[in-house]
Amino acid sequence: MRLSDLDEVMRIEKKSYPIGWSKSVMRDCIKSDYHTIVLKKDKQVIGFGIIMTALDEAHLLNMCIDSDFQGKGYGRKLLKYLKNICLCNHCKIFLLEVRESSLVAQSLYKSFGFKQIGLRKNYYKKPNGREHAIVMNKSL
């Protein structure tokens, strides 16, 4: 992901989440040591992922596929690529949070071997309150 990708990334983020990340947070991730990846189809950004690695752990901070391209295997392809980044960085644990209401994402993560290890209550903001996050991890 480059700074020049931010407008397209933010379009997907705003389309996908009622209250998502800000452009400045995305910019900070790009400028930091995080692994920021975009998935493109015909030169158009259709998805992105952001991973933070530290020591032997990786944390998937954000991953999203444009709703127009969901259900076509792109999320699986992006997650596989992100997992390979973790392996190249000698990570042993891959951790993430997922919205309790996001059953499709949970299903994808479970199919990759992620297991629920906890719950973060009221973690995600929603227009009418907050939503719990399911904490999942996978040994690599």
Domain of 115, CATH number, reads 3.40.630.30
Q: Domain tally for the chain? A: 1
Where would I find the H helices in 32-116? 74-88, 103-111
pLDDT at residue 33, as a whole number:
83
Distances (CA, A) of 133 to 28, 43, 72, 96, 101: 23, 33, 25, 9, 9
| CB contact at 8 A, 117 and 136 | yes
DSSP state of 73: S
User: Which secondary structure element, helix H or strand E, spans residue 23, and what is its range?
Assistant: helix 23-31
Rounded to a whole number of angstroms, the CA Rg of the chain reads 14
Tens-digit pLDDT profile for the chain (140 aa)? 999 999 999 999 999 988 889 999 999 999 998 999 999 999 999 999 999 999 999 999 999 999 999 999 999 999 999 999 999 999 999 999 999 999 999 999 999 999 999 999 999 998 899 999 999 999 99
Contacts of 27 (CB under 8 A, 6+ apart): 3, 6
Query: Which are the catalytic amino acids?
Result: 97, 109
Please give the pLDDT value at position 44. Answer: 95
Tally of CB atoms within 10 A around 83 = 19
Q: Where are the alpha helices (DSSP H) in 73-119?
A: 74-88, 103-111
Q: Residue 43's domain spans which residues? A: 3-139
pTM of the entire structure? 0.93
CA 75 vs. chain centroid, Å, equals 10
Q: Write down the pLDDT at residue 62.
A: 97
